[in-house]
Amino acid sequence: MNQSNDILQGYEQKTPGSRAEYDRAAKVVPGGNSRQAGFWAPYPLTIKSASGARVTDIDGNQYIDLLNNYTALVHGHAYGPITDAVAKQLGKGTCWAAINHAQTELAEQLTDRVASIDQVRFTNSGTEAGILALIIARAHTGRNKILMARGGYHGSLMEFDSGFFGKEGPMTYLGEYGDSGSFKQQLAKHGDEIAAVFVESVMGASGIIPATSEFLNEVKQATNAAGALFVLDEVLTFRLATGGRQQTLGFEPDLTTFGKLIGGGFPVGAVGASRELMNIFDPTDLKAFHTGTFNANPITMVAGNVSVRELTAERIADMERLAILFKNGLLEIAQQVGLPLTINHVGSLLNLFFTESHSGIHHDRDDLDISRRFHLACLCEGLFIAPRGLMALSTVFDENLVEECLEKAKRAMQETASEVV
């Protein structure tokens, strides 16, 4: 096998400004950045500006953005209707400790779209939405622990992290995603300690693995029988249908967590549930405490209103059509260049695995070396994707852009194949 490092050298030659910025940033910020997902070796890019489907780095290199901030920017960068709404709001003030109308509107949009929820509370991230769902479940059950899927992701919190890394923790029991029996077993053993069962409707960080409605319904039934609450995480998957993935699956969770696209590119999270469950926050009869200086700030709310309103069923279907076109093109190229390739795909979300079938999650993947090389090769060719192979289309994509992506991906795969085949 030819183990040359031409791709790495090409990346370093193309991005000296990003290298310099990383060296400077890493002195004052561990890893140069405030999120693990924004790091890759040898150093991540520094992005200077972004518009529509393209981002430009500090060296002036342009990339088609196929990641869209890990799916959050469903309408791409600097989307005109969102920047207009935010610009208008900026002049009217950015936050105050009282109600703002945009919050009411966004809550109305979410409760209109999602059948299982009557009310929502907003937070500043999907992680905080998970924390709030846990607060609600703890208040209702008087219990503390959670049960989640091995390799699931619900945010950056100790209770969730251990499951993400595949290990049980002091507050966390694990089931196997897709295997309702394993969840039932844990509930039978530890049900009296478990406040909530958290499940993603499509496993995102583990590589776009969809749940079936049978799996979700069986786990929810066992969860409720054990006296715990079922939390469906739709932080990533709300982009898949106007009423979220639960609409497609005809599934009604007790609690739903949201994030990403509902903030239109600004920090956001939300929890939705029935009026009965949300009653604990009734200020005249408080049973659980929830507050936050920037919760539901009007900037996020006006941006979120546009983002959600303009995510129509037609646009969702169009993104899926283009994602399938892209997926088929990638599979054809992989065959031509002699690379094994599996693509997990749901709607506008894709995850690439350079193996004959999807095998392993996170750091246990069999294709870590090849996918790292492909990631850097994509960057060299002007395609911005996640190091782990996640891609998420936005509504500003069209056939021509998909064609351009395929041309770039072809060169990236050829370069990757020349290093590993």
Ligand X SMILES: Cc1ncc(COP(=O)(O)O)c(C=O)c1O
Query: Judged by CB, which is closer to ligand X: 69, or 416?
Result: 69
Q: How far apart are CA 382 and CA 7, in angstroms?
A: 13
Please identify, among the stretches 9-17, 232-240, 245-253, 307-315, the one whose residues bind ligand X according to the rule CB under 6 A: 232-240
Q: What angle do CA 395, 396, 397 make, to 5 degrees?
A: 90
Regarding 207 and contact with ligand X (CB under 6 A), the answer is no
Regarding 233 and contact with ligand X (CB under 6 A), the answer is yes
Which run of H or of E encompasses 119?
A: strand 119-123
Among 75, 143, 145, 154, binds ligand X (CB under 6 A): 154
Map the footprint of ligand X across residues 267-326, applying CB under 6 A: 269
Least Cα distance to 411 among 387, 364, 372, 376 occurs for 376
Please identify, among the stretches 125-133, 238-246, 356-364, 365-373, the one whose residues bind ligand X according to the rule CB under 6 A: 125-133
Among 44, 244, 259, 347, binds ligand X (CB under 6 A): 259
Among 153, 177, 354, 397, binds ligand X (CB under 6 A): 153
Measured in degrees and rounded to the nearest 5, phi and psi for residue 307 equal: -55, -45
> Closest residue (Cβ) to ligand X?
126
Q: How far apart are CA 276 and CA 375, in angstroms?
A: 47
Structure tokens of 102? 């945009």
The amino acid sitting at 296 is A
Helix (H, G, I), strand (E, B) or coil at 377: helix
Please identify, among the stretches 7-15, 126-134, 277-285, 311-319, the one whose residues bind ligand X according to the rule CB under 6 A: 126-134
Among 126, 191, 210, 382, binds ligand X (CB under 6 A): 126
User: What distances in angstroms separate CA 278 from CA 257, 273, 283, one per listed residue?
Assistant: 13, 6, 11
Regarding 210 and contact with ligand X (CB under 6 A), the answer is no
Side by side, the strands of the sheet bearing 62-65 are: 47-51, 54-57, 62-65, 383-384
Regarding 125 and contact with ligand X (CB under 6 A), the answer is yes
Regarding 70 and contact with ligand X (CB under 6 A), the answer is yes
List residues binding ligand X (CB under 6 A): 70, 125-127, 130, 153-155, 200, 204, 233, 235-236, 259, 269
